[in-house]
Structure 1
Amino acid sequence: MKWFFKILVLSILLQSFQCTDTNDSSENITSAQLETKKLEIQNYINSFSCSESGGCNYIAFGSKPCGGPRTYLVFSNSVNLNHLQDLVTKYNEIDNLHNIQTNAISDCSVPLPPNEIRCVNGICTIIN
C-alpha cells in the first residue's frame, strides 16, 4: 500500500510540473485583425497635424517574412512617441506571427527609410 501511495504522489507532482504553452501564438492572426490594427495606427497618426516648427519623423512599420520592416510611417512630432512606438511594436509582433502562421514569403527586398520628410499643408509627407 505504501508503494501505491508513493507512486500516486509522484505522479501528481510530475503532472504539476508539466510544461504548458502560455504563448498566444496558438491563436491564428487574421488579415482582418492586421488591417484593423493598421487603421488604428494610421488614425492615431492622422489625428495630429504638423507644422514647419514642429517637424516630422518616421518609424519602421510591419514585418517582412525575410526580416526587416515592410515600410515606414511618417508622423508629426506632436504625437505621443511612446504610445506610437507601443502600437507599432505590437503591430510588428502580430505581423511577424501572421507571417509564421501562414508560411508567408516575400521578395526579401529591404525598403529604405525616407531621405526627406516635410510638413506639407499640415501633413507629414515623404519627399523623394
Structure 2
Amino acid sequence: MKTSICMIASLLSALLLTGCDTKNETNTEDATNKVSVSQPVLAKPTGLDNKIDKDSTIPAETVTLPPKNVTKEQVAQLKQQVLNLTEVTAAQDVSSCAVIALGHKSCGGPKEYIAYSKEQTNETALKQAVSAYYQADMQYQLENKMMSTCEVTPEQFPILLEGQCGLTPDPAATY
C-alpha cells in the first residue's frame, strides 16, 4: 500500500513538472513527415537593446538604457547638470513656475521633485538633462541591485514666494 502511494505521488509530481515546461510544442508538416518544433514561450531580454517605458512622471516616450558600468559619480554629474539648469528660479507670476520629477526609485516613481522658472530655464535642455539623469540613475540602481524603501514621494506643486519659484505638496492630498 505504502509503495503504491509513493508511486502515485512520484507519477503526479512528474506530470506536474511536465506542465511547467517553458516551451510550447507545435507540430508542423513538411512534405512527408510531421516534425515537432519547440518554441520558447517568453524570450529572455537580451542586453540593453530593450526599450523600457518611463515612469508616468517622465514623458511617455520610451528610452534606451545607457551603457553598462554607470558610476555613482556619473549619476551625480548628470543630476548636477539638472540642478544647474534650474538654479535661477526668479519669475514674475506663479504661472511661470513649473515642477519636474527627478530621479528614479527602484520601486517606481521619482526620487524628488524640483521647481523651476519657465522664464529662466530652457525647458528643452532641462527635459533632456532630466531624461539622461533618469536613465543613468535607473541603470546604476539595476547594476548595483539597489533597493528602495518604496515610500511614495508626494507630488509637488509650484508656488511663487518672494519672486522665486518653489514647491509645496498638494494640501488637499491625503497620504
Q: Which amino acid aligns with 1:84?
A: L
The Cα shift of 1:62 comes to 0.2
Structure richer in strand, relative to its length: 2
CA deviation vs aligned residue, 1:44-73 (integer Å, no higher than 9, x gap)? 111452222652111111011111111111
Deviation for aligned residue 1:123: 2.4
Q: Which residue of structure 1 aligns with residue 167 of structure 2? A: 126
Query: What is the root-mean-square deviation in Å for CA atoms of aligned residues?
Result: 2.3
* 1:84 alignment partner, one of 94, 107, 126: 126
- CA distance 1:107–1:22, change in 2 (3 Å): closer
1:124 counterpart letter in structure 2: C
Find the counterpart in structure 2 of residue 33 from structure 1: 74
Once the two structures are overlaid, the 10-residue window that deviates more, 116-125 or 36-45, is 116-125
Kept in 2, the 8 Å contact 1:57–1:75? The answer is: yes
Q: Distance in 1 between matches of 2:48 and 2:93?
A: 47
Normalising by structure 2, we get a TM-score of: 0.54
Q: Which of 130, 138, 141 matches 1:99?
A: 141
8 Å CA contact 2:97–2:116 kept in 1: the answer is yes
Runs of 5+ consecutive residues of structure 2 not aligned to the other structure: 1-46, 50-65, 170-175
Q: Which residue of the other structure, out of 84, 100, 109, is the alignment partner of 1:68?
A: 109
CA distance in 2, matches of 1:32, 1:67: 22
Identity within the alignment, %? 25
Q: Is the 8 A contact 1:49 1:122 kept in 2?
A: yes
Higher relative contact order, chain-length normalized (CA < 8 Å, sep 6+) = 1
